[in-house]
Chains A and B, each alone.
Chain A
Amino acid sequence: GAVVSQHPSRVICKSGTSVKIECRSLDFQATTMFWYRQFPKQSLMLMATSNEGSKATYEQGVEKDKFLINHASLTLSTLTVTSAHPEDSSFYICSASNLQGTEAFFGQGTRLTVV
C-alpha cells in the first residue's frame, strides 16, 4: 500500500531557530498533502493544505509566515517552523491520500521540542 515518510521523527532546537520537516509520498504522487499538529492528549488539528506547485492554504489562526510550506514536487512537501518558541513544541504530522481517495495515510510524525 501507499506509504508516507516523514523526517525527522524527533528534533530539539533552541528558541529562535528554524526547523524543517520533510514529508514524502514513497510510492504514489500526491498533488495535495496536509499538515497537522497534535498537542498532548488532544486530537489532530489541521494547520494547512500543501498544494504542489502553488501556495499552501492555511487554516484560520495559523500564521503562514511562521509555518512555511513548500510543495515543490509531487512527492515532497516541507514544513519549516521559523523562529521557533517553546509554545511551538508539539507533534507535527503530515498526510496524503492515494489517487482514488480511498485511503489517507500519515507520516510517522515529528516530535518538536523547543528549549
Chain B
Amino acid sequence: GQNIDQPTEMTATEGAIVQINCTYQTSGFNGLFWYQQHAGEAPTFLSYNVLDGLEEKGRFSSFLSRSKGYSYLLLKELQMKDSASYLCAVRDRDYKLSFGAGTTVTVRA
C-alpha cells in the first residue's frame, strides 16, 4: 500500500509563492498526481510526474524524486482563487490512486 504525508494547512499572501511537500512510501510506484479541490467540488487535475525532475505548467510546477519518495507542488503568483485543498496522490501498478489527506492553502490579501 501507500503511506502519503503532506502538511495540513498553509497560509500565504497574494502574489507570493507556496511550496507544498508530499512524501510517500509505496509498494509499487506508477506515477504521482497533484489535484486541486475546492470545498464541495470534485478534484481538478493539476499535474503528473512519473520520472524524476520538474514539470512546469503555467503558475504551477511539480517536482518528483523517486529515490527520496518526495514530491512538491509549487504555486507561483498566488491568487485568491488558489485558496483550496491540494491533494497529493500516488498511483500503483494497478492504476489505483491513494490520496494524502490534503493541504488546505489559504491565500490572504
- A contact set with B: CB distance below 8 Å: 6, 32, 34, 42-46, 49, 91, 93, 95, 97, 101-109, 111
Q: How far is the CA of A44 from the CA of B33 in the complex (A)?
A: 13
Interface residue count on the B side (C-beta < 8 Å): 24
> Is B15's CB within 8 Å of the partner chain A?
no
* B42 contacts A108, C-beta separation under 8 Å: yes
Which stretch of B59-67, B74-82, B92-100 is in the interface?
A: B92-100
Q: How far is the CA of A106 from the CA of B36 in the complex (A)?
A: 11
* A106 contacts B101, C-beta separation under 8 Å: no
Identify which of residues 30-78 in chain B touch chain A, using a CB-to-CB cut-off of 8 Å.
30-31, 33, 35, 40-45, 48, 50
Chain A residue, CB-CB nearest to B98:
A46
A-B contact count, CB below 8 Å?
52
Please pick, from A46, A49, A103, A106, the residue contacting B42 in the complex, using a CB distance under 8 A: A106
Please pick, from A101, A104, A109, the residue contacting B45 in the complex, using a CB distance under 8 A: A104
Given contacts A43-B101, A101-B31, contact A93 B95 (CB under 8 A): no
* B42 contacts A32, C-beta separation under 8 Å: no
* B97 contacts A95, C-beta separation under 8 Å: yes
Please pick, from A6, A42, A46, the residue contacting B97 in the complex, using a CB distance under 8 A: A46
Seed contacts A34-B97, A93-B43, A103-B48; 10 additional CB < 8 Å A-B pairs: A32-B95, A34-B96, A43-B101, A46-B98, A95-B97, A97-B95, A102-B50, A104-B89, A104-B97, A106-B35
Least CB distance from A98 to B in Å reads 10
* A93 contacts B42, C-beta separation under 8 Å: yes
Given contacts A43-B101, A44-B87, contact A104 B33 (CB under 8 A): yes
* A101 contacts B100, C-beta separation under 8 Å: no
